[in-house]
Amino acid sequence: MKILLAIDGSVFSDRAVDEVARRPWPPGSEVRIISVVEPPMTPITEPFVLPALYWEEAEQAAEEHARDAMNRALQSLRAQQGESLQIATEMLKGYPKQVILDDADRWEADLIVVGSHGRRGLTRLLLGSVSQAVAAHAGCSVEIVRTRATEPALEPA
Domain that includes residue 65, residue range: 2-40+54-145
The pLDDT assigned to 147 comes to: 80
pLDDT by residue (tens digit) across 60-89? 999 999 999 999 999 999 999 999 999 999
Residue 104 domain-assigned (yes or no): yes
| 3-state class (DSSP) for residue 75 | helix
Q: What are the 10-residue block averages of pLDDT along the chain, 157 residues in total?
A: 95 94 96 92 62 81 95 97 95 94 98 76 56 94 84 49
**73: in domain:** yes
Identify whether 154 is part of a domain.
no
What is the pTM assigned to this prediction?
0.84
Q: DSSP letter at 108?
A: T
Q: Is residue 152 part of a domain?
A: no
If one counts the domains in the chain, the total is: 1
Which segments of 23-71 are extended strands (E)?
Answer: 30-37
Q: Which pLDDT belongs to residue 123?
A: 45
H/E run at residue 106: helix 96-107
Residue 101 domain-assigned? yes
Predicted local distance difference test score (pLDDT) of residue 155: 44
Sign of the dihedral through C-alpha 140, 34, 99, 108: negative
Answer whether residue 49 is part of any domain: no
Residue 66: CATH number of its domain: 3.40.50.620
**121, part of any domain:** yes
Q: Please report, as a single letter, which amino acid is at residue 49.
A: V
Q: Is residue 127 in some structural domain? A: yes
